Chains A and B, each alone.
Chain A
Amino acid sequence: MSSVSLRMLPPTGRLARMRRVGSDVGSLRLIERHARAYRHAWLVFASGVFEPLFYLLSVGLGLGVLVGRVPGPGGHLIPYREFVAPGLLAVSSMNGAMYDSTFNIFFRLKYAKLYDAVLATPMRPAQVALGEIGWALLRGTIYAAAFTLVMLAMGLVHSPWAVLAVPVAVLIGFAFAALGMTGTTYMKSWQDFDYVILASMPLFLFSATFYPLGVYPRVVQVIVECTPLYQGVVLLRDLVVGVVGPDLLWRAAYLAVLGLVGLYVSGRRLARLLLV
């Protein structure tokens, strides 16, 4: 009897040291797991690059001709395709992160029971949250880099500040991945995902992605300015066009705070859901 209860005690000595080491790299282990799992579906992964390409092509061939020139950052008139390309980069970072952190995590949580298996190892829920968001960001980095290269190849980049476009796109991804993951922990069925689309679609359409903010009446402008995607769009557009001011710092801080809060809450929520 006593030997049975002894086994329930927390491990000491070598095992505990292993657990501490494990905790440092735990989220990396989850990222490694996803990388291995995706080896069988690398084509799905790679095909994500085509989506922004189609969008840029349709803007370049079609909408750009219809719209002509629009007032860009700093009030200068710029060709429409140069105006809209950074907006599309921001949108694709948001969509990629939201998709990864909602549909995929819900599937792993409810159907694949991945986290139940993960928590049988020394990993903790906060590491799961960190690992999932790390994976979403890794994916986002690859897509953002590909997008920026396509923009460069199409002659849509005119400023050296554009090298910061990739880290900023990843920051947008971080904010939305953390928010999406927090939302997912409250979801009960696939039907709830209609609400995800309901949240991301107006952000996608109205965050000054396709036309300047000046089109709206003042009240709507203020509402739009409060949304995270708008801040991301302004950040990327200013960097790619090359009109850079100190306001970009607080816009980036807004996104970073949003991401950190989401990361903290989603870790707590995962712990409650998985009864740790």
Chain B
Amino acid sequence: MAAVLSRGDDPPQTPPAHGGTARPPVPPWPPASGGSPPPLSARAFGCWLTVYRRIWRSSIWSSVLGPLFYLGAMGLGLGTLVDRHGTASLGGVSYLAFVAPAILAVSAMNTAMGEASYPVFGSVKWNKIYIAAQASPLRPGDIFRGHLMFMTMRIAMNAAVVTMFMWAFGATRSAWAVLAWPAATLTGLAFAAPVAAWAVTVTSENSFAYLFRFGMMPLMLFSGTFFPVSQLPGWLRLLAYATPLWHGVALCRALSLGSGLGLLGALGHVAYLAALAAAGIWAGARTYRRRLYV
């Protein structure tokens, strides 16, 4: 327990202004038996699981049918036109094989941004789950990490569905494609952590309209998803190389096609995405503390 309490995100050492006392001791977990307790963030995660158990039915449709529709319309429908015109600029593969891993990465980003924006803000402002969690022994860092675990779970679930569809559509070209699933989950996490860290500081839900319109939308269209980045003019291409989605798409595509990227290149993409996720986790612990310790 001492180890749990002495972690880096403890409250500031100065006592609260209202003269509050130390936080109540954490009850043992599981309640009646021995063993070391799981981290507190696991309990915050448990709270989100409880919520999700009640609402999964409605989200399952858009999680399953969304990627199916996209693969069908873009890969098969539009693919007919592209393949007829020639796919030399795609590296000779069919448009379906080209676009499917990109849809995987994009859907990971969409899930991440959806789960990390309004739900985080709503937990402060609308249904106040964070405020309730604050009244428990959970600290802001636990609340953040617990929610981030839940987001990662949702990203991994949706990415698993897309990966299976890719395989069922015959869009994969290599056994490495199984690794596209964790790669997409990492891509999602690289978006979820920084966005959640920012979303908790937001004061009006209008800010999310800008995030989706000027962040998600251009990323989805110009990160080498539906057409190769090499078709962009020079300065825009450099901008695309700098975006996390391009790294996610390039990584997923190389794994799905089994070519086009050496080990070093793949590790480079992984390092970029992992660094972004780590930065988000670091920042989130701080922004949550600033917002939730009043």
Contacts and interface: CB of A to CB of B under 8 A. Distances in A.
Interface of A: 41, 43-44, 47-48, 50-51, 54-55, 57-58, 61-63, 65-68, 70, 80, 111, 191-192, 194-195, 197-198, 201-202, 205-206, 210-211, 215-216
Contacts of B85: 66-68
Given A191-B55, A206-B73, A211 B61 contact: no
Contact of A44 (B59, B73, B210): B210
A215 B80 contact: yes
B293 interface: no
Given A47-B214, A61-B231, A63-B226, A205 B221 contact: no
B82 A67 contact: yes
B144 interface: no
Given A47-B210, A65-B227, A195-B58, A201 B69 contact: yes
A84 to B, nearest CB: 10
Given A44-B209, A44-B210, 4 more contacts: A43-B206, A201-B62, A201-B65, A215-B77
Which of B77, B217, B222 has the most CB atoms of chain A within a 10 A radius of its CB? Answer: B77
Interface of B: 55, 58-59, 61-62, 65-66, 69-70, 72-74, 77-78, 80-82, 85, 89-90, 95, 126, 206, 209-210, 213-214, 217-218, 221-222, 226-228, 231-233
Given A54-B217, A211-B81, A66 B227 contact: yes
A50 B214 contact: yes
Nearest to A203: B69
B81 A44 contact: no
A211 B73 CA distance: 9
Contacts of B59: 191, 194
A192 B231 CA distance: 40
Nearest to A201: B69
